[in-house]
Amino acid sequence: MKAGEARLQSGGTLYVVATPIGNLGDISQRALEVLATVQGIAAEDTRRTRRLLQHFGISGKLWSHFEHNEQACMAQVLTHLAAGEDIALVSDAGTPLISDPGYALVRAARAQGYRVVPIPGPNAALCALSAAGLPSDRFLFLGFPPRTGEKRRAWLRSIRQEPGTLIFYESGQRLSATLTDLQAILGASRPAVLARELTKRFETFLSGSLSELRNRVQAEPHQRKGEIVLLVGGHRGPSEEEEAHRVLQILARTLPHKQAVALAAEITGAKKNWLYRLALKQSSDSPG
């Protein structure tokens, strides 16, 4: 019998419990049952979670589990699981681990053979996607963009070609700068949606092109208030490689290879040696 299997029979269960992102009515029946019956709750901020529990008439044993003392809390939770206690992990709002702490704990609990059970519920990214009106068949959740301009722009360049809808979390403070970079790197006309204060009193969805959204956010400071999910339509049309191929084909009709390659590299940003190999292949493939 493997070490993990022995523990599965005697150890406790770690429940990963999603909590509301604004509207308390979104808590699930299962979440309430689990929070009321576990022997301990590892919370990101104990005061916030205590208020939530109080609202539902639940009194529980709470530990703080925030980024800075994640190691200490993890050791504590694992000790309790080893003693056969059931523990719930919650974050301040939404689903733990999603731009929130908990990954190290879940990984350690699984590695040691404990049952880890998700109690699904609210999540700001999926909540926004479900009502934004952007393609939902394929999407990429990116969490918070890097805070500093240069890092953020390099990061955005790396996802320029992603075909799925892009989902970001962003603070009101950085929203304008991020929209400016998105517009510059992904193109001003990409469709986008700003989803703000989801499930709360001032819930707002703003749709438009990236440049329209940026102008609106700059002109109306209240659009930067509260909690924000930003969604951007994925890349449509040819990939950068396909575009370079097309440009090279046109230029090579009338120019010598060397010149066609140099111009195609300048127009498309593709690497010269890659274009050169392509040009040779094109001429060897073309009839006559």
By the criterion CB under 6 A, which residues form the site for ligand SAM?
A: 21-22, 91, 93-95, 98-100, 123-125, 169-171, 195-200, 227-229
Question: Could you give the CA distance from residue 61 to residue 38 in angstroms, rounded to a whole number?
Answer: 9
Question: Could you give the CA distance from residue 39 to residue 238 in angstroms, rounded to a whole number?
Answer: 55
Which CB sits closer to ligand SAM, 63 or 169?
Answer: 169
| Cβ neighbours, 10 Å, residue 109 | 24
Question: Could you give the CA distance from residue 188 to residue 78 in angstroms, rounded to a whole number?
Answer: 49
At closest approach, how far in Å is the CB of 247 from ligand SAM? 39
Which CB sits closer to ligand SAM, 93 or 210?
Answer: 93
Say if CB 195 and CB 228 are below 8 A apart: yes
Which CB sits closer to ligand SAM, 13 or 91?
Answer: 91
Question: Could you give the CA distance from residue 243 to residue 165 in angstroms, rounded to a whole number?
Answer: 21
Interacting residues of 231 by C-beta distance below 8 A, sequence separation 6+: 128, 129, 132, 134, 165, 166, 167, 168, 192, 193, 194, 195
Which CB sits closer to ligand SAM, 86 or 227?
Answer: 227
Which CB sits closer to ligand SAM, 198 or 231?
Answer: 198
At closest approach, how far in Å is the CB of 60 from ligand SAM? 20
At closest approach, how far in Å is the CB of 168 from ligand SAM? 8
At closest approach, how far in Å is the CB of 236 from ligand SAM? 26
Instruction: Give the CA angle between residues 160, 166, 185 to the nearest 5°.
Output: 30
Residue 123's nearest CA partner among 273, 229, 207, 222 is: 229
Report which residue's Cβ sits closest to ligand SAM: 94
Handedness of CA 22, 25, 27, 33 (dihedral sign): positive
At closest approach, how far in Å is the CB of 75 from ligand SAM? 23
At closest approach, how far in Å is the CB of 104 from ligand SAM? 16
At closest approach, how far in Å is the CB of 230 from ligand SAM? 8
Which CB sits closer to ligand SAM, 124 or 261?
Answer: 124
Structure-token pair, residue 126: 């999926």
Which CB sits closer to ligand SAM, 97 or 108?
Answer: 97
